[in-house]
Amino acid sequence: MRACTVLLNGEPVNSCMVLAVECDGMQVLTVEGLVKDGVLDPVQQTIMEHGGVQCGFCTPGILISARALIDRNANPSDDDIREALVGNLCRCTGYLRIVDAVQEAASPTGLEHLMRSERWLHK
């Protein structure tokens, strides 16, 4: 996947390879859609906390690919995470911090973190 990755009916696809007409009647989720009512998705939050982002070029593709993985596998192994992120090239951070962040986002701790979020508490 690439920075242009979106979820199309829950599956990660490169948006640059899909014609808009092909999306008619389909659910499209971009990286911006991961934020709900001003609260970051656990994947977004843990990537930031683990230092898994620097220049930001690869971040949208990694976030969308990670969200798709967690949606279909609530307890991914490190190998599952690495396989889901194939094609997302990060030259700044390497992948250890990113894999750790996705692992935490998939864990019960990721959901607990969301629940304790300051913005969540003020809703």
Tell me the pLDDT tens digit for each residue of 4-60. Answer: 899 999 999 999 999 999 999 999 999 999 999 899 999 999 999 999 888 888 899
Residue 110 pLDDT exceeds 70: no
Contact status, residue 83 vs residue 12, Cβ threshold 8 Å: no
Could you tell me which residue, 108 or 42, shows the higher pLDDT? Answer: 42
Tell me the whole-structure pTM to 2 decimals.
0.84
Distances from the Cα of 44 to the Cαs of 19, 25, 61, 116, in angstroms?
27, 27, 12, 15
